[in-house]
Amino acid sequence: MLRINNILILFLFSFTGNIISAQDNNLKERLQTHVKILASDSLQGRGLGTDGAEKARDYIVGQFRDAGIQPIGDDYLQNFSFRQSLAWIPASNIVGLVEGNDPVLKDEFILIGAHYDHLGYDIRNDEKRIFFGADDNASGVAAIIELGRYFAQNSDLMGRSLLIVAFDAEESGLIGSNHFVDNSPVPLENIKLMFSFDMVGMYETNRGLHLRGMASLDKGDELAAVVAQRHEMILRQTGENIEGRTDTQPFGSAGIPAVHVYTGQKSPYHKPEDQYHLLDYDGMETIHLFMKDFLKVLSHESELRQSASLIASVLQESTFAGRRPAAGFLLNTGTGFHRYPDEFFQAKTLLNVSAGFYFQVPLSQLFGLQLEALYDLNGSQIDGGNFRRHSLTVPLNIQFGTPGVQGQDIRLFVFSGPYYRHTFAGERAGTTLDFENDFNRDEWGYTIGVGLNIFRVYMGYTSRRAVTDLLKSDEIKILDSNGYFSIGYRF
């Protein structure tokens, strides 16, 4: 009965010219085959840097070639390596291209991606457990291969160009997709939208398809809804938030609208039971037909723009960039002198130096907090010689300045705040200071200054003024005062 129905439906569609075309009645079979092979015993869970991963790579490259997807450059591989504990792990993204057909829009790209690595295997009690990763993410790889095949064979249907990318090293922290964003083979600003197909084999169980982050494309959710209606497709979670746990993350951070195509965490997630026979291949076919239509529509849209909130979030990220909590070394050289606020004169200056560490915490785009701990040699010329103190000085300053320039950490700011100074030794014209009877060990005051960060280097001018008296007696008031040029280096 079922079979007759299918034939009847196909027969009818061949007349109505419906989007579900009769000539591709092997689609579901091919999707199944891809998953079956990628999640088979012989690929051993496609663990990083293993033979299984290499077999997966060969298979995907073979499928790209067979599908008529073009390589970018000499071959499909974007090779890289990264450090994991002590070892360098070799890895490869697989990158294919279908050129668009619109003379103007073809310089812009829509990227469809899926990671092909999984967890590999482990050995417990002499027993090997393979993590097959059928839903995660043989399903996504099957999806992009077949979408790539369709558009390679029907490239006249695409306005913009299509990048098809199988990412490596996703499970180790989105390393493949980060590498791609940092080393994009096409100008990154020309990638207008990306989809990460990650776990798409559970449509029926999930009662729909998540397009997480769809609204990070301006009006993307509305466009998706229109196309979904044509396919009686159930869409869920089409909001603006870009998923951080799949390959959408580095694209979103780079300001590219990025969508996680996902049928929920319905499979035995990251367990050996995530296997070929559990997936919903009818559902994968449904998703394919919807995405095919949707990609066509997107590729011809006159403009693909970021949503306002994506622009805002990227702006915020970039102004904080380089403004994470930071620590560094600080050296101050300048002069100091004693002020006598009740007299009409003041002492002559003496060379003052201080050195130590600073710790900086950004509070917002414009404000920051800086704590310093300095060994401080301060003093003044006085009648009959020099006055010197060896102190520990601890300033706490609020900084107010320009937002950092994106990715460059160039920043100009003013600062002010209180300082505390504890003196542990000193001398006055050759005589040791008597802290029992004559001099205060503890001093409070305030700092004002101006600073400039250029990458790791800090330069600035600092003025420090005591508000508490140097002397214990009330007869005459002496206030310490210093001015420093500072140079610093961030660790």
Give the interface with Zn ion as residue ranges (CB under 5 A).
136-137, 198
Indicate the residue among 274 and 376 with the shorter CB distance to Zn ion: 274
Indicate the residue among 137 and 306 with the shorter CB distance to Zn ion: 137
Indicate the residue among 96 and 133 with the shorter CB distance to Zn ion: 133
Indicate the residue among 176 and 379 with the shorter CB distance to Zn ion: 176
Residue 136: CB minimum distance to Zn ion, A: 4
Residue 176: CB minimum distance to Zn ion, A: 12
Quick check: 117 and 55 in contact, CB under 8 A?
no
Cis ω on the peptide bond leading into residue 440 (within 30° of 0)? no
Indicate the residue among 198 and 280 with the shorter CB distance to Zn ion: 198
Residue 75: CB minimum distance to Zn ion, A: 25
Residue 181: CB minimum distance to Zn ion, A: 18
Indicate the residue among 137 and 423 with the shorter CB distance to Zn ion: 137
Residue 82: CB minimum distance to Zn ion, A: 18
Residue 230: CB minimum distance to Zn ion, A: 29
Residue 118: CB minimum distance to Zn ion, A: 8
Residue 91: CB minimum distance to Zn ion, A: 15
Indicate the residue among 136 and 480 with the shorter CB distance to Zn ion: 136
Quick check: 256 and 188 in contact, CB under 8 A?
yes
Indicate the residue among 197 and 439 with the shorter CB distance to Zn ion: 197
Residue 274: CB minimum distance to Zn ion, A: 10
Indicate the residue among 188 and 278 with the shorter CB distance to Zn ion: 278
